[in-house]
Amino acid sequence: MEKPGKTISIEEKVKCKVPFGTVSITEQARKLINTALDTTFVTNGKYVKEFEERFAKIFGVKYAVAVSSGTDADALSCATLYDFGAQRGDEIIIPALTFIATANSVFQAGFKPVFVDVERETLNISPDKIEAAITPRTRALMPVHLMGKPAEMDKIRAIAKKHDLRIIEDAAEAHGAEYKGEKIGTMGDMAAFSLYAAHIITTIEGGIVITDNPDIHRALVSLRNHGIENKFDFKRIGFSAKMNEIEAAVGIGNTEIFEEILAKRRKNLLYLIDQFKPFDEYLITLKEADHEKIGPHAFSIIVRQDAPFSKEEFVRYIESKGVDSRNLFYSIPTQCPSYAFLGHKTGDFPEAEYCSDNGTHIGIHQHIESDQLDYVAEVVRDFIKEKIS
């Protein structure tokens, strides 16, 4: 029943049919939140430590450092490079197509992002274009596993080894993903995850970095708290990026149901991949190769070049039918005005630009059921039928 005095429009009701994101908050988490509030000590306490230990165990690594956002997880990861000889203004290579936080975090840590184009079919950084972007000031490669689809880590690791570069995995959207039997997040020197509400493990807001390197771990713990070591020694130029106990409580609850959420999302992903096969002539959609397991964040859809309709027409139609969507990010160096000062021009990153101009993504989260996915497929089928008739 609607609350007295509140009117919900027809548009809002339609919009709710297939929502983009969700949050799972367990009963355990609710109890822990109340306990944390009763203690009156709600920042970076025992629940944060417990959440870190649980997260590290899931990925089979020695260390996890919880922070206040996925952006901070990226930024602190970058800032650890100073402990290994990097200087301000040095370069970190990232894909041109990613969420803006990847590039912003590089700048926030005092480095310069150097962009490399992506592959249209995978959305991930093109390994064959990385070496051309490496300069004497390059200090790290930062592949992003977009939509939870693993980047080509064999080639990326070989390049990093050849040029003595660190690897920072931006695994923000890739909880539970695997590449050739290895867990995404364990294939570089460190990996940064977002724990924002839309992700598989969430603290509502938050981020976390995992590593097996004790020196990186020590730097991360210092960096998240103003660069402090010991009780009050300021050893680094740090951040204020601590996680609080309430967020950690939500995260602890999510670690308990991680496998359940992952399995449901993967079931939804594989089902939708199958449902979209008849549309392959017109749409490029997320696919899973034999050597990988996607840790599903969302389902990407790119309108093919010769399709008889535009991305705008497609999105307008599915949104009108209640299928919520988001743009497929942007080519940061050429489509984000805040990065115009770097001097890139339209056409410098053609694949990233194409994906952005012609791509969208929709939800496949754990609270979406198969009948809703059938509805999505029906909506797309009706749209295409209308356009080709």
Residue 325: strand pairing partners = 362
| Domains of the chain by residue range | 27-256, 258-388
> What's the pLDDT score for residue 3?
37
> What's the pLDDT score for residue 16?
52
Longest dimension (CA), the chain: 72
- 170 φ/ψ angles, rounded to the nearest 5 degrees: -90, 95
Fold held by 258-388: Aspartate Aminotransferase, domain 1 (3.90.1150)
- 109 φ/ψ angles, rounded to the nearest 5 degrees: -85, -5
Which CATH number is correct for 27-256, 3.40.640.10, 3.40.50.11030, 3.40.190.80, 2.40.30.10? 3.40.640.10
Which tens digit of pLDDT belongs to each residue from 148-157? 999 999 999 9
User: Which residues make Cβ contacts (< 8 Å) with residue 26, sequence separation at least 6?
Assistant: 253, 254, 256, 257
Cα 293–Cα 150–Cα 130 angle in degrees, nearest 5: 160
**Tokens representing residue 270 in the block:** 């594989």
Q: What is the pLDDT along the chain (389 residues), one digit of tens a residue?
A: 333 334 434 344 344 588 877 778 888 888 888 887 777 777 778 999 999 999 999 999 999 999 999 999 999 999 999 999 999 999 999 999 999 999 999 999 999 999 999 999 999 999 999 999 999 999 999 999 999 999 999 999 999 999 999 999 999 999 999 999 999 999 999 999 999 988 999 999 999 999 999 999 999 999 999 999 988 899 999 999 999 999 999 999 999 999 999 999 999 999 999 999 999 999 999 999 999 999 999 999 999 999 999 999 999 999 999 999 999 999 999 999 999 999 999 999 999 999 999 999 999 999 999 999 999 999 999 999 999 98
Q: Output the pTM of the full model.
A: 0.92
**Tokens representing residue 20 in the block:** 């983009």
Closest CA to 23 of 217, 197, 206, 218: 197
Please report, in angstroms and rounded to a whole number, the separation of the first and last CA atoms in the chain.
42
**131: number of Cβ within 10 Å:** 12
